[in-house]
Structure formats: structure tokens, C-alpha cells
Amino acid sequence: MIGSQGRTCKLLCTRKPFALLLSVFVFFLMGFTSVHAAESHSEDNVKDFDAGKVIIDHILDSYDWHIADYGDKHLSIPLPVILNYKGEWYFFLSSKFHHGHDAYKDFRIAKEGPKKGKIIKVLDDGVTPDPEAAFLLDLSITKNVFSLIIASILLSVLLISVGRNYSHCGFKRAPRGISAFLEPLILFVRDDIARAAIPENKVDRFLPYLLTLFFFIFFNNLLGLVPFFPGGANVTGNISITLTLAGFTFFMLHFSANKEYWKHIFNTPGVPVWLKLPIPLMPIIEIVGVFIKPIVLTLRLFANISAGHMIILGFVSLIFVMGSSNHIAGFAIAPLSVIFVIFMNFLELLVAFIQAYVFTFFSAIFFGMAVPQEHH
């Protein structure tokens, strides 16, 4: 009986979760790219290389996933567009826009104006923005959403397989393989982030959230550094993503906050009365602080990751900027650029970890403030 159990355990422990992950990658690559690979495209051949546009286009979200150009053919994955206009739902693939050149069902991607790059309602001519357009709810699966979904699936598969290993093989087996890589990180989050910032008896409540946060950010940061599909999307460098993460922290914080926390905000102890009455100076500062915390979280992650992507792309673009004026200059600058890009990539690996750590650590500190020990 024991022998058979040991065999099952061994079988499960040696199973490679990465084989599954790899097949998922390959599936996505094959399934999407081949269909639309031959989509031809006529654009006025712009000789000048606009580095700023390339970089900003990369940093921003888009409705299709551009993979490569071959001659004047664009290799890209069309993604589903989901719109709700005046209570009516519209579902279609972004390939209907022909890379933003055409309108479809009176919707098109704005080329300029405050909504540049987003889908807007246009008039029948297919160009002029509708001046009386109502609110357009855009729930499209954009590049970032798609990358987010892939990352979420990969992360879940990876961590659940690790979790299964743990529950099947018990605590007497030393972690091996991917578990051996992940366990130090898990212990790092638990011991150096959660336990360092949150009172001992409250740690277990926040630990799953902090672990998910850390691995989610870390994984997406790393995936963003992979230059080709399915990496390369600027997920954690998008303000909507970081804002949502900060929002999760914000709501978790205020739903679990105890009396001490609210007392600290509205009637800060240890502060002279004239700071609270008649002008509630301290409460105002504290309330502003409540909202500044998630904003700071949002901006720090967004700015760090975006900046890293921009610098790497800047160095890559340098080759083409030089090359567009003179081929020899392009080849001459290339080695230098590559060296800088390699250096930046190593730096970004570090930043990927540090930013995940910082976001998680600050969340933990805020939780620690929300549930202070009853006595001071």
C-alpha cells in the first residue's frame, strides 16, 4: 500500500508542467498567425523611421497583436472587438478595421483627437467622428487583455501544478524542479513581506492575496520582457492594469480595516487638538493619504515598467534611425545598441523582481496599518 502510494507520488512529482505550457504557446502561435499571415496591406511607404511613434505604439494598447512585417505584409493576430453602443452589443474581429484604415459598422479607430487609438463612433462617411455620439462601452479583447489572459492561464497552470505536487507528495519530500524554484519566492513573500509588515495573527488572511499579487506582477513583468509573442505586451506598464491592482489593494485594505484604523484617520491620537478643531486639518491630510496610497502604487509600477520598455525600444530604434539616413551608420551603431539593450534587459529582470516586491511590500504595509495591534 505504501509502495504504490510512493510510486504515484513519484509519477506526479516528476511530471513536467512545462510540457503543457509549451503546448499552449504553440497552440496559440499556430492557431492564430497562420490564418491571417497572408493578409496584404497597402500603405503609403513611409521611408522615414519614426522612433517615437514606434515606441508609443508599443507602450500603448492595440486592437490587434502585431507580430512582424514582411515586405508590405503585416503579420498580426486579429483580436475580438466587443462594443456596446446604446444598449446594443457588437462582436467582430479587429481585422475588419484593416489595421485602422477602414470603418466597420460605423466604428473605427480614431487617428487623432483626444480618443486617438481608441474605437469611436463615426458618421456614415466612415471618417468623421460622430459629434453626437453617445457613451461607447468598449470591452474589446485588446492586446493587453489577450496577454493578460494568456499570462493568467499560464500562471494558474504553473502554480496549480505546483500546488498539486505539494498536496500529493506531502511535506516530507524536499521541493524539486519548479517547486524548488518557487518555494524560496513563496517563503520570501511570506517571511520578508507579509510577516515583516502585518501582525502575526493576521498574516494568514492576507497571505494568499499578497502571494497572488507578487507572482502576478512578477510573471507579467517577465513576460513583458520577452520580445516576441506571447510576451512583449506592456501589461504591467499599462495604467489601467496597475490601477486595478492598486484598487484591489485599496478595497481589501478598507474592507478589513479595524476600528483603530478609522480612529487613526478621523481622530488621530497623539496630535494637538488645534490640528483637528475647528479646521479638521489632520483628518483631511489622512483622507488624502488614503487615496494617495493606491495612486502611488499605480504610478510607480506603471512608470517603472513603461520606462524600461521605452529605453530598450529606444536603443533598438537607434539602429533604424541611424540606418534610415545611412546604412553604414546603422550597422556601426548596432553593436553598441545591442550591448546596451542586453544591459537594459538584465536591469529590467532586476526591475521586474524589485517592482513586484515593492508593490507587494507596500500593499502589506498598508494592510499592516489597517489591522494594527489593539494596544500601542
Partner 1 sequence: MELVTPGIGLIFWMTLSFGIVLYVLGKFAWKPILSTIKERESYIANSIRHSKKIHRELEELDATKEKMLQQTRNKADEMLKQAKAGGEDIIQKAHQQARKEADQIIESAKNSILAERKAAEREIRQQIVRLSIDVAQKVIREEFKDVEKKNQYINKLLEDIQLN
Minimum distance between the CB of residue 278 and partner 1, rounded to whole angstroms?
38
Question: Which of 77, 75, 81 has its CA nearest to residue 64?
Answer: 77
- Find the part of the chain contacting partner 1 (CB under 8 A) among 22-30, 144-152, 256-264, 327-335: 144-152
166-205 positions binding partner 1, by CB under 8 A: 166-167, 170-172, 183, 186-187, 190
**Candidate residues 142, 221, 304, 363; the one interacting with partner 1 per rule CB under 8 A:** 142
159 in contact with partner 1 (CB under 8 A): yes
**For the window 204-233, what string marks contact with partner 1 as x by the rule CB under 8 A?**
---xxx-xx--xx-----------------
CA-based nearest residue to 226, from 238, 216, 234, 215: 234
CB of 267 to partner 1, least distance (A): 34
What DSSP string describes 303-347?
A: HHHHHHHHHHHHHHHHHHHHHHH-HHHHHHHHHHHHHHHHHHHHH
316: phi > 0 → left, psi -120 to 50 → alpha, else beta; which?
alpha
CB of 55 to partner 1, least distance (A): 11
Q: What is the DSSP letter of 364?
A: H
Contact 60, 142 (CB under 8 A): no
The yes or no reply on residue 65 touching partner 1 (CB under 8 A) is: no
Binding mask 4-43 for partner 1 (x = CB under 8 A): ----------------------------------------
262-281: which residues touch partner 1 (CB under 8 A)?
none
Rounded to whole angstroms, the Cα distance separating 183 from 161 reads 13
The span from the first CA to the last CA of the chain, in angstroms, equals: 55
Shortest Å distance, C-beta 132 to partner 1? 21
Calpha distance 345→351 (Å, rounded): 9
Q: Which of 14, 244, 325, 373 is close enough to bind partner 1 by CB under 8 A?
A: 244
Please state, in angstroms and rounded to a whole number, the distance separating the CA atoms of residues 111 and 97. Answer: 12
CA nearest neighbour of 213 among 256, 191, 245, 182: 245
Which residue from 25, 248, 261, 320 is in contact with partner 1, where contact means CB under 8 A?
248
Binding interface with partner 1 (CB under 8 A): 56, 59-61, 82, 114, 116-118, 137-142, 144-145, 148-149, 152, 155-156, 159-160, 162-164, 166-167, 170-172, 183, 186-187, 190, 207-209, 211-212, 215-216, 238-241, 243-245, 247-248, 302, 306
